[in-house]
Structure 1
Amino acid sequence: MALASRRATSLAALVCVVGFLAGPAAAAGKTGQVTVFWGRNKTEGSLREACDSGIYTMVIMSFLNVYGHGKYRLDLSGHPIAGIGDDIKHCQFKGVPVSLSIGGFGADYSLPSKQSALDLFDYLWNSYFGGSKKGVPRPFDDAWLDGVDLFLEHGTPADRYDVLALELAKHNIRGGPGKPLHLTATPRCTFPPSSYLGRAVATGIFERIHIRIYDDDNCEAYWQLAWDKWTAAYPATRFYVGLTASEMTPGWVHPKNVYYGVAPYVQKAENYGGIMIWDRYYDKQTNYSSMVKYYA
């Protein structure tokens, strides 16, 4: 706890310095989006409740955390699956798209070959989008998701997330009229990215990337440099600054310092898109998004 406090204080002090240089006026000059991760704690409330909060412009369910070797598992931390399909449709009706994040913090996923990437696409298409294949369950019945997010905490140079991304884009899997797939990634802020993620992002087809500036020792003092490198390397992609709503997580930024420091800095990038919040459980406890959304 002491370490977390020191890290949070360090980052808070850093962004205060940036704030004196940039000033709060930049935060008022742009409007952005607020994306939140949902599905990591049963007590965070339902997906419908998250969308009805009026805070978020996108919700990412997490995680599909087993894939790549013939087995697949969706882990929503004890949330009852029954009814989520109706919640997805409810969110979409309200104009809040819902994506599925693959990967996560476990060690049971990989895409070690082109075929494994194609197999994962086939599974996603038939389970969560427009397909229907005997023996492949549809957890959310006939509800179609709006996108796929890559939240990759480990991998090897052999992993073929580029093949998966290209296949998703090629099939325009959302399928609804005028509703293209939201293809996103949520990496740690270190730049350059890992080879397996870098090869995927280099395809140029990712709509947005959420850069996590929390819980990363390598970026605590230098996240601005990493942000500049990310946004310059992929000018066609929208970038979101990833913040944690938990004060106990290393790298937490006080809302005041988001206003005076983080927001003015990230909004200098022409391809700035908004804020990503980890996660709905912490956010519901702290009301973090209800404060920082005004600076997005």
Structure 2
Amino acid sequence: MFNSSSNTNIALYWGQDQAGTQLPLSTYCRSNSADIYVVSFLDSFSGKQTNGTGEMAVSYEGPMTSLGGEISICQSLGRKVLISLGGESGQYGLDSGADGETLAGQLWDTFGGGKNASVQRPFGNVIIDGFDLDIEHGDPVGYGDLVNRLRVLYATDTSKMYYVSAAPQCPFPDEWITQALEQSEVDFAFVQFYNNDCGLDEPKNFNFDQWADFAQTRAANKHMKVFLGVPASRKSADTGYVGVPVLTRYIQKLLNHTSFGGVMMWDASSAFGNRDHGKSYVEYAKGALNGVVSNGAGTNFVSGVVFEVVFAVVVVWIL
């Protein structure tokens, strides 16, 4: 049973096939190693009434309705599936709070519990569990309004719980998402402790405590869970990757922190494909979160190519 207040959750981004070995979403969901899957990315949006378009680029072979079936399987297994907005590239951004509110309605009708029959739903009748903000360029305006409007819409469907996450980069404050965290209630902060000098490979500059203090004192949601965001292999990021023993020590230190929510990994293909002594990187992390310390993995834990590449087609759809 998923517990949003737990400190042992693992979130994996899926859809960009970082390792080149990506498997179907439902295949990963059958493992008990991860709790949240973030389908990435909806990388084109504006929220304009006159230009309410959105494009989603996912490494997936087949129609989006089939991906909806994968999501449904994941949900039946107790996993939560979110849709991520933004990413490193893409044409996206909001010009005003009104744009954010408009986009919230579009997202709700397209992926959530909205009942607008005139809106095309790429995943069919499947209803996702929430949205993630991975905003990495543009202006921070409008995202707090987006989340606040989503919260209003979430409240109209009492049949399930909905969530909002955000993925700030570790330098504090994050240029694009801190404002939204202060203005609106976000459940999970998947802080990216990589590709910056505050990553796990820079222990003197590692600033989880700063993010945790922000969560408890300045964030709109004082109970927001802060995740340790890590690259799941050496190839997953330019900097920030650490082997299992080092990752385990970080986890052991953070488990007693009130704001700690677990580990986020970029991405699923790397998290499961990076293996040593018969176990994947994500399995070792889940074990560490549950108090299991393994001596099986060495510091030279590397990314292993162990899965056949089955998905390699980037599909783009229009809202």
TM (norm. structure 1) is 0.82
More helix by share: 1
Partner of 2:9: 33
Partner of 2:271: 283
TM-aligned CA deviation for residue 50 of structure 1: 1.4
RMSD over aligned Cα atoms? 2.1
- Which aligned pairs between 1:1-296 and structure 2 lie closer than 5 A? 32-41=8-17, 43-68=21-46, 70=51, 71-80=53-62, 81-133=64-116, 135-157=118-140, 159-172=141-154, 175-177=157-159, 179-194=160-175, 196-217=176-197, 219=199, 221=202, 225-235=206-216, 236-248=223-235, 249=237, 250-260=239-249, 262-286=250-274, 287-296=280-289
Q: Distance in 1 between matches of 2:156 and 2:264?
A: 22
Q: 1:65-118 CA distances to partner (integer Å, 9 max, x unpaired)?
A: 000152210111234223122222211111111110100111400011122212
Unaligned runs of 5+ in 1: 1-29
Secondary structure of 1:184 counterpart: strand
Partners of 1:35 and 1:58 within 8 A in 2: yes
Q: Distance in 2 between matches of 1:254 and 1:95?
A: 29
Q: Return the letter of the residue paired with 1:47.
A: L
Partners of 1:64 and 1:72 within 8 A in 2: yes
Partners of 1:31 and 1:295 within 8 A in 2: no
Indicate the larger mover: 81-90 or 226-235: 81-90
Secondary structure of 1:145 counterpart: coil
TM-aligned CA deviation for residue 183 of structure 1: 0.7
Identity %: 25
Partners of 1:128 and 1:143 within 8 A in 2: yes
- The count of residues paired between Structure 1 and Structure 2 equals 263
Q: Return the letter of the residue paired with 2:227.
A: Y
TM-aligned CA deviation for residue 226 of structure 1: 2.3
TM (norm. structure 2) is 0.77
More strand by share: 2
Q: Are the structure 2 counterparts of residues 226 and 204 from structure 1 closer, same or farther at C-alpha, using a change threshold of 3 Å?
A: farther
TM-aligned CA deviation for residue 259 of structure 1: 1.4
Indicate the larger mover: 111-120 or 163-172: 111-120
Q: 1:111-144 CA distances to partner (integer Å, 9 max, x unpaired)?
A: 1112221221121011101224355321100000
Indicate the larger mover: 211-220 or 137-146: 211-220
Q: 1:31-58 CA distances to partner (integer Å, 9 max, x unpaired)?
A: 5111111111274111111111221111
Q: Which runs of 4+ in 1 moved over 4 A?
A: 222-225
Q: Are the structure 2 counterparts of residues 174 and 50 from structure 1 closer, same or farther at C-alpha, using a change threshold of 3 Å?
A: farther
Partners of 1:39 and 1:79 within 8 A in 2: no
TM-aligned CA deviation for residue 199 of structure 1: 1.8
Partners of 1:144 and 1:174 within 8 A in 2: no
Q: Return the letter of the residue paired with 1:241.
A: L
